[in-house]
Amino acid sequence: MFFNTIKTISLLALLSFICMAVGSLFGPNGAYTALIMAVIMNFFIYFYSDKMVLRMYKAQPLDQQRYHHIHEMIEELAHRMNIPKPKVWLVQSSQANAFATGRDPSHASIALTTEIISILDEAELRGVLAHELSHIKNRDILISTIAATIVSAIGYLSYTLRYSALWGAQTTNRKQSSSQNNRLILFIAGLILPLFATLIQLAISRSREYQADETGAHITADPLSLASALKKLELHTHYTKQEYNYRPANALGIVHQFCGKKYMDLFSTHPPMEKRIARLHELHKKLF
């Protein structure tokens, strides 16, 4: 858990450094201007994305009487994590998945699909719920928003960099930026830096998934149940139609693969399932 926290902080620091470095090409106020623009854009996303996501999936409140056992599990786990019980939603779907959303523990929601409730036993479902509650406890939505803000700022700056390079505009602190060689270097940098920043953002997302697995497993003291749930969910994705593959909120789910290819791990919001399962088995050995 400590390693993942340090890794997340380091990656955020690296993103910030890239943003400041690119911004410095446009003078002392370049990065600040881009950051302000990104903050304004992400402000709305931070405060209203949960409502947008739940509306996108046509989520309905999870019936208190029919699913009282799920409400009880969430209430008990939330109490153990010392956070308020989030709102609980049901998504009618043949895809087995679950996700958490909301800007902080006091404004959080957990959504479960009908299929995940159907295929998991009680211990496995408890492990999944602990994972999603861990995202809320660890404030992963906030961390993701900070990363998205910085990446957006880098995107704005890189676009301006490419535009300046193409049209031969001089930057304020590089006298020779109008030369063909320098303009080519600036243009290439404007193409590469957004991709590099996005890869760092995805690495942060994968790190938060590992940490949510670990936090949830510690809270339940049952890493193997979560490992079993992940294995079952992974197998399920191979035999069901992925109806939400192209929706922006897909990355929020506990299960998500970019395209199932190992060489695409760098471009995935989630770590490879086999690595997550192996880590949980290692944690079980340490705990017991």
Catalytic residues: 132
Residue with tokens 């854009």: 41
Residue 84: helix, strand or coil by DSSP?
A: coil
DSSP string for residues in 85-116: PPEEEEE--SS--EEEEESSGGGEEEEEEHHH
Kindly report the CA angle at 205 between 202 and 209, in degrees rounded to 5?
140
Residue with tokens 């890239």: 18
E strand map for the chain: 60-61, 87-91, 98-102, 108-113
Q: Which residues contact 268 (CB under 8 A, 6 or more apart)?
A: 202, 206, 256, 257, 258
Alpha carbon separation from 283 to 130, 213, 223, 254 (Å, rounded): 15, 10, 7, 19
Please choose, from the candidates 228, 217, 226, the residue with its C-alpha nearest in 3D space to the C-alpha of residue 287.
217
State how far the Cα of 276 lies from the Cα of 60, in Å rounded to an integer.
30
State how far the Cα of 186 lies from the Cα of 179, in Å rounded to an integer.
11
